[in-house]
């Protein structure tokens, strides 16, 4: 997120200077307004967008988010306010991307937003359940308890994903091996049988003719298979991002022969 250097006048008429992070100049002016400051100068810092370019495709690891939530809960429980806790978390985290997110959260909270509202600006980091729980914790005055519960939920979700991946490993390896065997048969074994049938003058059954056509495709137009496979994988991933695709994938995972609970 870009950084801006500002000079502003507060309600007492004193001139203040500093830096803030915002998506654009308008958002930066709005932050200053929420702080009760009248900007007299606002300039984007050179190279401020470099981090954003680096982290466009980066994701925060669940483990990092779990540690962030647990440390946040501990600080709130110890009596620190949200802004003070975010300042410490920003300094302590080793994840450059997470530090940037925490910096943005601090700036938004200092600008007058609730923590849940600030987190809602980062949907790729904080999902709807996370934000809803934080919002409930703010309303009930138990933010520390909710943050600790969120950390526990992230830990359990990570364990489930790890077990699902472990359960999927064996059938995936079997499928890959079976596919390689099938391709080998189509490329080398089927042509031998076709040659024998031609020598005997026999008529191939309809199903066998389909197999021969598949063999000819693999041997003659094999270069089509790789783009086709890539397009299929891409299509499946896109479908999994839709509501119906997620529901179908969840049903498949629930039917896996594995033990998820203790």
Q: What is the largest CA-CA distance in the chain?
A: 104
Residue-range domain boundaries for the chain: 3-53, 59-154, 175-254
Q: What is the pLDDT of residues 191-239, one digit of tens each?
A: 888 888 778 777 777 888 888 888 888 887 777 777 888 899 899 888 9
Q: Which residue has the tokens 């074994």?
A: 189
Q: Residue 83 and residue 101: Cα distance in Å, rounded? A: 13
Q: From start to end of the chain, where are the E strands?
A: 3-9, 15-21, 38-44
Q: Residue 164 and residue 260: Cα distance in Å, rounded? A: 8
Q: What is the pLDDT of residues 146-158, one digit of tens each?
A: 999 999 999 999 9
CATH number of 59-154: 1.20.81.30
Average pLDDT value over all residues in the chain: 84
Please give the backbone phi and psi of residue 44, each rounded to the nearest 5 degrees, phi first: -75, 135
pTM strictly above 0.85: no
């Amino acid at each position: 997120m870009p950084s801006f250097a500002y000079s502003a006048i507060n309600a007492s008429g004193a001139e203040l200077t500093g830096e803030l992070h915002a998506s654009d100049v308008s958002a930066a002016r709005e932050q200053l307004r929420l702080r009760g400051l009248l900007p007299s100068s606002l300039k984007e810092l050179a190279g401020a967008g470099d981090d954003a370019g680096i982290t466009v495709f980066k994701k925060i690891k669940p483990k990092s988010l779990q540690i962030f939530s647990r440390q946040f809960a501990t600080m709130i429980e110890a009596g620190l306010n949200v802004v003070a806790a975010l300042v410490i978390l920003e300094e302590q985290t080793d994840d450059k991307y997470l530090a940037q997110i925490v910096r943005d959260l601090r700036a938004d909270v200092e600008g007058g937003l609730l923590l849940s509202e600030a987190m809602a600006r980062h949907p790729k980091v904080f999902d709807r359940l996370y934000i809803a729980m934080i919002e409930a914790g703010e309303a009930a005055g138990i933010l520390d308890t909710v943050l600790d519960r969120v950390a526990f939920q992230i830990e359990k979700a990570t364990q489930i994903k790890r077990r699902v991946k472990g359960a999927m490993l064996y059938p995936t390896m079997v499928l890959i091996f079976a596919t390689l065997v099938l391709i080998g048969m189509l490329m080398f074994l089927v042509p031998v049988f076709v040659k024998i049938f031609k020598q005997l003058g026999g008529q191939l059954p309809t199903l066998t003719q389909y197999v021969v056509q598949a063999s000819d495709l693999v041997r003659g137009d094999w270069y089509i298979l790789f783009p086709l496979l890539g397009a299929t994988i891409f299509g499946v991933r896109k479908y999994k991002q839709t509501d119906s695709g997620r529901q179908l994938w969840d049903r498949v995972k629930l039917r896996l022969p594995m033990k998820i609970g203790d």
